[in-house]
Amino acid sequence: MGKRAGRQVQIKRIKAQIKRAIVANKDWSSLYAKLCEYKSQVNFKPIPWKLIPIDIEFNYPNYKTIERTDPRREIYKIRNLLGPGL
């Protein structure tokens, strides 16, 4: 049964193999090509709530009236818990 690893783990292994090949004076160009191939793969999935700019209102609305999907809800909830001094 073969071992499966994530992309970052595989990149880490290839980097270690390249270092060992350089120390042993071996040809490491094929390993470097493999590393470039892994790095060029795009596996980026944008997270919408991190990319949307958040508008914070200063009239301190009740966080319970805001939708759960709205990222401002957490900010207002923390502000409500810690006090108005924030």
Domain parsing of the chain, residue ranges: 7-40, 48-82
Terminal CA-to-CA distance of the chain, rounded, Å? 55
User: CB of 73 within 8 A of CB of 64?
Assistant: no
**Quick one: pLDDT at residue 2?**
53
Helices 7-23 and 29-40, interaxial angle, to 10°? 160
User: CB of 60 within 8 A of CB of 66?
Assistant: no
Please tell me the distance from the alpha carbon of residue 67 to that of residue 32, in angstroms, as a whole number: 49
pLDDT confidence of 1, banded at 50, 70, 90? very low
Dump pLDDT digits (tens) for 59-83.
666 777 878 888 778 887 887 777 7
pLDDT confidence of 84, banded at 50, 70, 90? low
Dump pLDDT digits (tens) for 4-61.
677 778 888 888 988 888 888 888 888 888 888 877 776 656 655 556 666 766 666 6
